[in-house]
Amino acid sequence: MRLTTKTRKNIGSVVYHLFVIALALFVFYPVMWLIASSFKSHSEIFTEAHSLIPSELRWENYVTGWKGFGRTTFATFFKNSFIITFASTFGQVASSALVAYGFARVNFTGKRFLFACMIMTMLIPGQVLMIPQYLLFNALGWVNSWRPLIVPSFFGVPFFIFLIMQFIRGIPYELDESAKIDGCGVYRIFFYIILPNIVPALITSTIFAFYWKWEDFLGPLLYLQSAELYPVSLALRLFSDPAAITDWGAMFAMSVASLIPVFILFVLFQKYLVEGISTTGLKG
């Protein structure tokens, strides 16, 4: 009796793992295919379209792809992406931390109403506002510069404000109280008590902000005209234009290259990412 249950359990376990691995291979196929294609020769991309093993590793695809188009290389596009992403990420996280502290710990008149406003804006998608925001930045003369992509980041992001607030709420009030008794004001409490305690939330926010900015396409598409200002996302779109493309291997190579920073970040900070998704998802 005991043996049969054990065998049944084992069979169940084998079936389970086979099933999950098969599913994982299925889900992973597109990614592996993209990487494989980036090493294939032009003709092989079309004759052996589905194969995951290129007949030879053509690193030249990366070399030719890196040259970019016009007179701008991907070195410029990557540099642009990094500048935009770093500046914007810093702004988003720093401003969101301040706002989160204000909402979570300071009592001021009108707080409940303003907090409700902030939660509401989480539900308003940015795409709905693209016309008037474009007109605003156009009126300011900011079009064809990075300013529309960076400056608004310094005004807090509701999603991150909310995420950081959840963390601040987990810090015991006694810490604030004892600091108050020692003569600390709200500002000092923020910098010396709260800030060191919300580092995980700040890291989570940083990673998300980085991802979203790195991938952002609509913003650069609306605001940037000169190729030397393009981030990778926008450059890749032109580079892969089906009407103009000649070197498919190079296009795949640059697609892979654009994902590398994202992937590295994922490997390094996986834990924070998963935690961030879980907490905001739960507390929403």
Partner 1 sequence: MEKNPSLAPAKPVPRKLRKGKKLKNRNNLAGYIFISPWLVGFLMFTIIPMLWSLYLSFTKYDILSSPRWVGLMNYETMFKYDYLFPQSLKVTFQYAFTAVPLRLLFALILALLLSQKRRGVGLYRTLFYVPSVFGGSIAVAVMWRQLFGVNGALNSILMALGVIEEGIGWLTGPNTAIWTLVALAVWQFGSPMLIFLAGLKQISFSLYEAAMIDGASSWQKLIYITLPMLSPIIFFNFLVQMINGFMMFTQALIITNGGPFNRTLMYVLYIYRKGFTDYSMGYASALAWIMLVIIGILTAIIFKTSSYWVFYETGEGK
User: According to the binding rule CB under 8 A, does residue 175 interact with partner 1?
Assistant: no
Select the residue interacting with partner 1 from 55, 121, 178, 225 (CB under 8 A).
121
CB of 56 to partner 1, least distance (A): 19
- Residues in the interface with partner 1 (CB under 8 A) total 99
User: According to the binding rule CB under 8 A, does residue 218 interact with partner 1?
Assistant: yes
Select the residue interacting with partner 1 from 1, 3, 27, 53 (CB under 8 A).
27
- Residue 121 CB neighbours (<10 A): 12
| Ranges within 53-82 binding partner 1 (CB under 8 A) | none
Distance in angstroms (rounded) separating the CA atoms of residues 161 and 277: 14
CB of 5 to partner 1, least distance (A): 15
Candidates 53-61, 78-86, 155-163, 169-177; binding stretch for partner 1 (CB under 8 A): 155-163
User: According to the binding rule CB under 8 A, does residue 277 interact with partner 1?
Assistant: yes
Select the residue interacting with partner 1 from 4, 56, 113, 125 (CB under 8 A).
125
Task: Describe the crossing of helices 2-37 and 248-283 by its angle, rounded to 10 degrees.
Answer: 130
Q: Is 77 exposed, middle or buried (0-12, 13-18, 19+ CB in 10 A)?
A: buried
Candidates 69-77, 109-117, 164-172, 197-205; binding stretch for partner 1 (CB under 8 A): 109-117
Contact by Cβ (8 Å): 154, 95: yes
183: left (phi over 0), alpha (psi -120 to 50) or beta: left
Classify 216 as helix, strand or coil. Answer: coil
Select the residue interacting with partner 1 from 11, 22, 83, 135 (CB under 8 A).
135
CB of 71 to partner 1, least distance (A): 21
Distance in angstroms (rounded) separating the CA atoms of residues 76 and 89: 20
Distance in angstroms (rounded) separating the CA atoms of residues 156 and 162: 10
User: According to the binding rule CB under 8 A, does residue 172 interact with partner 1?
Assistant: no
Candidates 23-31, 55-63, 72-80, 167-175; binding stretch for partner 1 (CB under 8 A): 23-31
DSSP character at residue 157: -
DSSP character at residue 145: S
Residue with tokens 């810090």: 171
User: According to the binding rule CB under 8 A, does residue 43 interact with partner 1?
Assistant: no
User: According to the binding rule CB under 8 A, does residue 49 interact with partner 1?
Assistant: yes
User: According to the binding rule CB under 8 A, does residue 16 interact with partner 1?
Assistant: yes
Candidates 55-63, 74-82, 168-176, 180-188; binding stretch for partner 1 (CB under 8 A): 180-188
Distance in angstroms (rounded) separating the CA atoms of residues 167 and 199: 9
CB of 197 to partner 1, least distance (A): 16
Q: Is 35 exposed, middle or buried (0-12, 13-18, 19+ CB in 10 A)?
A: middle
User: According to the binding rule CB under 8 A, does residue 211 interact with partner 1?
Assistant: yes
Select the residue interacting with partner 1 from 18, 131, 199, 268 (CB under 8 A).
131
What values do phi and psi take at 69, rounded to 5?
A: -140, 165
Candidates 58-66, 75-83, 162-170, 188-196; binding stretch for partner 1 (CB under 8 A): 188-196
